[in-house]
Amino acid sequence: MQIIEKAFEPVQIELPDALRNPPRMPYIAFKAMARANLAKLRAGMGGHSKDIVRRPVSTLQREIEGHAGPVSVRVYAPEEGAAAPRPLLVFFHGGGWFGGSMEAVEAFCRAVADRADAVVVSVGYHLCPEHPYPHGLGDCYRATLWAAGDPGLGIDKANVAVGGDSAGGNLAAAVSLMARDRGGPPIAKQLLLYPGVTLHDFVSPTGERGGVFGRLLADWYLARSGKTTDPYVSPLLAPSLAGLPAALVAVCELDGLKEQGIAYAQRLSGAGVQTACLLYRGTQHAFIDNTGTQPAAEDLAEESARFLRGQ
């Protein structure tokens, strides 16, 4: 498998204080502090995007049944263009399973819908720690079932993709595994943007590998209801990746998850899955949150569109 490198000028991205420089204190105290400041942490996430569509793209807000309650989804589709059934991308936003939003990735989803002439469904899955695993994953799987089976969306059922960035990339990889194991829905492609594909590195008692914030994410997401070795939690640890959808994996040069993403792409390729891997030089984690203000994000929207179109 070849890694295709794409170089861009580095852009400094502001992170919440707790992510950039976690305070030094016993883990139990840090966890309590983070929980008390959860709303502030969530509010500090996201970037600075602007709409870059070249033609009108409609937005339809819907509510569907999720894992254990209603889930909001947004459906983006070009108002002009091909009359034939369109590719479908079901997209899961990033945010460490506890944050992020459909708003943060809206400009990216709209750009992909425009450039791929596709229907893009963005999923507002439930977040931890209030709704730990498998709640969010169950929401994403059910949203994929709904989107792939809804005749009103006008999709090409032979060209269904799931995708996501960061934690959303984890969810997309897990939904792909789940669909393979359960015999549906039929997923042809997976779009994994700087994905976190194993939480197992985050659970060291001293936090050397994932850091104290990585350990917190694992604790919040799993909440004793799952194990970091579960393939639906850590797809990189799945015994077999054979039979999975074709994959486009994009990783950032300046990102602690880079090696995970490359390792997953290599494992997919080794299992006979058609896989391409893009390495974005000069980029940091979560750069699609800056679609329209960071050139690398627009380039990734173009690459994603080509992948959906099969080019």
Q: How far apart are the first and last CA of the chain?
A: 18
Q: How far is CA 229 from the centre of its chain?
A: 20
The answer to whether residues 143 and 125 touch, using CB atoms and an 8 Å cutoff, is: yes
From 114, 117, 110, select the one nearest 84 (Cα to Cα).
Answer: 117
Place of tokens 């090696």: 259
Please count the CA atoms within 13 angstroms of the CA of 82 that sit on its side-chain side: 16
The answer to whether residues 100 and 171 touch, using CB atoms and an 8 Å cutoff, is: no
The answer to whether residues 168 and 123 touch, using CB atoms and an 8 Å cutoff, is: no
- Catalytic entry in 131, 219, 285, 289: 285
Helix (H, G, I), strand (E, B) or coil at 249: strand
**Residues in the chain, total:** 311
CA angle 156, 185, 64 (to 5 degrees): 90
Known active-site residue 166? yes
What single letter denotes the amino acid at residue 283?
Answer: T
The answer to whether residues 264 and 236 touch, using CB atoms and an 8 Å cutoff, is: yes
What single letter denotes the amino acid at residue 260?
Answer: Q
- Catalytic entry in 166, 176, 234, 304: 166
- Catalytic entry in 176, 255, 289, 304: 255
Known active-site residue 285? yes
For the CA atoms of the chain, what is the radius of gyration? Answer: 18
Known active-site residue 255? yes
Question: Active-site positions?
Answer: 166, 255, 285
